[in-house]
Copies of this chain bind each other. A is one copy, B any other.
Amino acid sequence: MQTLHVELAERRYPIHVGPGLLNQPEQLSRWIDAPALLLVTDSHVAEHYLAPVESALGPRLQGIRVLPPGEAQKSMKTLDSLFDSLAEAGIGRDGAIVALGGGVIGDLSGFAAACWQRGIAFYQLPTTLLAQVDSSVGGKTAINHTSGKNLIGAFHQPRAVIADSTVLSTLPEREYRAGLAEVVKYGFIADVDFLAWLEGRIPALNARDADTIAETVTRCCAIKARVVAEDETEQGRRAILNFGHTFGHAIEGACGYGEWLHGEAVAAGMAQALALSCRLERISQGDHERGLALLRQLHLPVTPPALDTRTWLEWMARDKKATREGLRLVLLRGLGRAELVTDVPTESLEAVLQASSP
């Protein structure tokens, strides 16, 4: 078991990573230290992991909410129902939410915790690879609006994250692969050595080797923690974490949320961002191909769905990174180094979109 500390301006919190952590009641009970708790999870996760967590938390657990699985829960309606559950459970300012699940559960519960009584504590027990490497660090919480993904939310840091690498063995194949997209992203944007490390472990990654996964999660969290600590509320530097995401959000939105998994859309989005980086001569043709090869070897999509250019541009303009001055995109300047670019030439962007369109 490894413990990584995320250092922020006002406080620090630990991320515990290792196999079988959800089955260690004494440690769980010590790490989750608030006196009154509401546990939020979904029915898939509950089936496998609710029992040990429930029993570890004992009488401090004042309520349990088991939601249907899926992105549709990131809604005002479900948020409102969580507030009802918090009130019914009598969760006051010293209480907390325990989020047991993937990104949907973490984003939704974290936002509920951010708003309830203007901010109570929450603990993340991420059960997907994506949530372990992405949502665990950074404090971004949100729900969706009909006009776009994650448009309603808050920055709210967890009090602790407990990432059990054993739980990833029961993850459906698509969800595991979707998580690998974000893993590869950290290599692209900030650490070419990590990219090479991944390239050397393709079989182990595809076989979900437990040690390889634990090491991967720890390295990704460390990279993300470094980027987030530099820019806690996303004024600048932190935006590089959105590499591939403006394209990806357009894919998710245009196809209807849930059709493409977030990580799948990000993989295809990163392929677009690599292509645009290459077209603008920010990375070499060789680096472009090296990037695509890694995504393909991990069985990730590199071809976006058939959307016309106007649809692409409309959805991309809705992205939170759009400003009055026009679209801002995260592009590479060589592998392992991402930058936020504000002066992307429209014709280059359109050429990349058209090359991928039907």
Task: Name A residues whose Cβ lies closer than 8 Å to a Cβ of B.
Answer: 35-36, 76, 79-80, 83-84, 87, 92-94, 114-119, 140, 142, 145-148, 151-155, 233-234, 320-324
Contact = CB atoms under 8 A, between A and B. Distances in A.
Contacts of A142: 118
Contact of A117 (B35, B115, B320): B320
Contacts of A115: 115, 152-154
B94 A323 contact: yes
Nearest to A325: B94
A328 to B, nearest CB: 10
A116 B152 contact: yes
Pick the 5 closest A-B CB pairs, nearest first.
A87-B147, A118-B153, A76-B80, A115-B152, A117-B320
Contacts of A154: 114-115, 118-119, 154
Contact of A92 (B117, B118, B323): B323
Nearest to A151: B117
Contacts of A76: 76, 79-80, 83
Contacts of A151: 83, 87, 116-117
21 contacts: A35-B324, A76-B80, A83-B151, A83-B152, A84-B146, A87-B145, A87-B146, A87-B147, A87-B151, A93-B320, A93-B321, A94-B323, A114-B154, A115-B153, A116-B152, A117-B151, A118-B140, A118-B142, A119-B154, A119-B233, A154-B154
A145 B94 contact: no
Contact of A155 (B79, B118, B140, B320): B118
Nearest to A148: B87
A319 to B, nearest CB: 9
A35 B321 CA distance: 15
Nearest to A34: B324
B36 A92 contact: no
Contacts of A322: 92
A139 to B, nearest CB: 10
Nearest to A153: B118
A94 B36 contact: no
A328 B143 CA distance: 34
Nearest to A140: B118
B155 A119 contact: yes
Nearest to A111: B115
A324 B92 contact: yes
Contacts of A323: 92-94
A324 B83 contact: no
A178 B344 CA distance: 55
Nearest to A114: B154
A97 B120 CA distance: 26
Contacts of A94: 323-324
Given A115-B153, A118-B234, 14 more contacts: A35-B324, A76-B80, A83-B145, A84-B146, A87-B147, A87-B148, A92-B323, A115-B152, A116-B151, A117-B151, A118-B153, A118-B154, A118-B320, A119-B155
Nearest to A88: B147
